[in-house]
Every structure is written in C-alpha cells, then in structure tokens.
Amino acid sequence: MDKLRRSIILGGGLSLAFPNWPAFASSFKYNLKAQRIANNTYVVIGKTEDFSLENGGDIVNVAFIDTSDGVVLIDTGSSRRYGEALKKLIFDTTGKDVIRVYNTHYHPDHCLGNQLFDKTKIAALPKTISGLKTSGEDFSGNLYRLLGDWMRGTEVVLPEKVINYSSEKFGKHRFEMLPFEGHTDADLAILDHETGVLFTGDICFLDRAATTPHADLNKWHKSLSEIKKIPHKILFPGHGPADITSRSIDQTDTYLTWLETNLTNAVRDGKDMIEAAKMPIPEKFRSIDLINREIERSVAHLYPKIEEKALPFLGQGGG
C-alpha cells in the first residue's frame, strides 16, 4: 500500500473540509516531555484521550531508563514522527543512544515508532511479533485514516529480538521479563530490579478506561492477580499517570469485572448492544477518562460472545 499517497490524499481532503486544519497541520510536532519518576528513570505520559487529529496519537505511555551501557526504551509510540520526537527527547535528556527497545504488546500506539530504532535491538514476546506481523498493516492503515498527515512515512517495523529469556542487565539495571496475557495474547511487563519500577504495559490502566479489542477477560484477571504479588515501588501503567499506590491494579480489575457483569446482566434483561452501552456508571468509575467511549467499544468486542453464553439455545435449522 502506498502510504505516502494515502496520507497526501487524506491530508489534502482534510484541509479542504476544515479550513482551520493548517493551524495544526503546519507543525505536526509532538510536545513530548520527560518526567523523572525514579533514579535514571524517565516517563513520557500520553494524553488520556482517543486518537485524534489534535493529539496526533500522543495517547500512550513510554518510558526510558538511562543506564551506563546506554538507554533502554519501553514502547515507541504511534507514528514515525512520534518516534523522531521521542528519540530527540531521549538524547536531549541522557546524551546517550538507545541500546534496547521493548514492545510491551502489538497494539499500534505502542510500536509504530519502531522504525526510528535499530530493529535488531527491538525485543518482544513471540506472539507480539506474530500479532504485529498479521495486523500491523491494518492498524497502521486505520491510524492513517484517523490521524492523517501525523502518520506520514510511518511503516510497520517488526521486532527482531525474541524474548525467550527471563532477564537481562544493562549497567546496574537488571530487567526482569514478565510475560502476561489478557489485554492481548502476549503482554510484557518489565520489572527494573535496580529501581523497583514495574512497567506493566496495558495490563494496567490508571484513570483511563481499559480497552478490550483483543481481550480475554479471564486471562486478564489472572494476570492482574499475579502482578499484585510482584514486589515493586512504583507501577507505570500503559495509559495514565505513574502509580505509587498500585491502585491501577485494583481499578483495572474491578472495572473489567463490573463491565463483564453488567454486559451479562444486559443480555439476560433482553437488551441489545445499543441499550447495553447505556449502562449507568457507578460513582467510583465516573472520573475515569473515556469510560463512556470505551464501554461502547467494549460492547462491540464482548457482547456477541456473552450472548452466545447467556441466551437460551432453541434449536437448529437445516434442510
């Protein structure tokens, strides 16, 4: 697929449709900021928003660790431009090059900045690599559609380093590889034993509703209960602020339980998808960003399977 052509067509169309488009189209600059959350440890916190022409896909958390061997980067963002901005930010902050990149899972907001980095140094779980191989082009096509020229030149780059080891050390920092599943079929969490920072990828969300397009809720709950047992000082979720009280684990867990319970009850009460999406939101979840939007999306992801379980079987046609 000719990405360049597609982005030019889309960008051109948009500037005709929205006269104000050039106001932000002229820059296409991500305003990324590094925050230090622990010794040698910096995070770039994405907006807790959906993809939009205004944010250019700056909606994901990224982290980097400044070791004496070089910089270790966790996730690369939504686009080539994001990867460029990130690379510059890392160099401005540490003065060093990136020697290891991890992709926590195969969703596009976490790995479409890959092309700025040496692919032999990008590491991921085997199913993350195969997932990105299968779906990467579709993901990227969809983001071109949603983000237009922000995506210019973005290509899917597959990680070439397979994570089949339990830890690796750069400088004084020993990174433990913690393979989980549930948000997707391969979700990598990483524990930095030097600082006690636990990077959970999208197994944990904080104050931003969890997303479920490839979720297996049972496996996700199991992963969350295992993560709870891992001693750590700070938890850094895939979306939302750094978490010093680990409340992101409980919030994600109780939200997913509440969601599934409500959808099951909705099927039993005879609601269709549109009605099910209008479920009342309990007080404790109301301050979670994007909760209404994510409930609507989750209904689309989860409802047909719940219907198959909860609606009575009546018979089978044939002839």
Partner 1 sequence: MRNLYTKLNVSNVKKLSCKLTCAAVGAIVLTAAPLQINSSIAANNTLKSSNLAKLPKDSLKSVMWDFVATEFLLSDKNTKKIVMNDSILVHAPKIAEDQLNLPVHVDARSVKNVQKIVIIADLNPIPKVLTYEPKQAEARLSFRIKVGQATPVRAAVLDKDGVWHIGGTFVDASGGGCSQPAVAYGNDDWVKRLAEIRGQIWRKPGSVASKMRIVIRHPMDTGLADGIPSFYLEKLEMKGSGGENVGTIYIKEPLSENPTLTLFPILKEATSSLHVKGRDTEGHLIDVSIPAPVQSSALID
> 41, 42, 44: which is closest to 33 by C-alpha?
44
Question: Distances from the Cα of 82 to the Cαs of 48, 52, 63, 171, in angstroms?
Answer: 16, 14, 14, 27
The distance of closest approach from Cβ of residue 126 to partner 1 in the complex, given in angstroms and rounded to an integer, is 21
Can residue 96 be called a binding residue for partner 1 (CB under 8 A)? Answer: no
Can residue 270 be called a binding residue for partner 1 (CB under 8 A)? Answer: yes
Q: What is the C-alpha separation between 29 and 55, in angstroms, rounded? A: 10
The distance of closest approach from Cβ of residue 304 to partner 1 in the complex, given in angstroms and rounded to an integer, is 7
The distance of closest approach from Cβ of residue 14 to partner 1 in the complex, given in angstroms and rounded to an integer, is 14
User: Binding residue for partner 1 (CB under 8 A) from 277, 288, 290, 291?
Assistant: 277
Q: What is the C-alpha separation between 164 and 167, in angstroms, rounded? A: 9
The one segment of 2-10, 23-31, 177-185, 302-310 that binds partner 1 by CB under 8 A:
302-310
The one segment of 22-30, 81-89, 239-247, 293-301 that binds partner 1 by CB under 8 A:
293-301
262, HSE (Cβ side, Cα atoms, 13 Å): 19
Name residues whose C-beta falls within 8 Å of residue 77's C-beta, 6 or more positions apart in sequence.
Answer: 30, 57, 58, 60, 62, 83, 86, 109, 110, 112, 113
Can residue 231 be called a binding residue for partner 1 (CB under 8 A)? Answer: no
Helix, strand or coil for residue 203? Answer: strand
User: Binding residue for partner 1 (CB under 8 A) from 22, 126, 213, 282?
Assistant: 213
Can residue 13 be called a binding residue for partner 1 (CB under 8 A)? Answer: no
Q: What is the C-alpha separation between 302 and 29, in angstroms, rounded? A: 36
User: Binding residue for partner 1 (CB under 8 A) from 151, 224, 299, 306?
Assistant: 299
Tell me the site size for partner 1, rule CB under 8 A.
Answer: 29
Residues 33, 39, 40: CA angle, nearest 5 degrees: 55
Can residue 81 be called a binding residue for partner 1 (CB under 8 A)? Answer: no
The structure tokens listed for 210 are 């969890």
Sheet architecture: strand order including 70-74: 35-38, 41-44, 62-67, 70-74, 98-102, 122-124, 161-162
Which is nearer to partner 1, 35 or 261 (by Cβ)? 261
Q: DSSP letter string over 121-138?
A: GEEE-HHHHHHHHHHHHH
Can residue 2 be called a binding residue for partner 1 (CB under 8 A)? Answer: no
User: Binding residue for partner 1 (CB under 8 A) from 142, 221, 279, 285?
Assistant: 142
The one segment of 129-137, 232-240, 250-258, 307-315 that binds partner 1 by CB under 8 A:
307-315
Can residue 280 be called a binding residue for partner 1 (CB under 8 A)? Answer: no
Residues that bind partner 1 (CB under 8 A): 141-142, 145, 213, 269-275, 277, 296-297, 299-301, 304, 307-308, 311-319
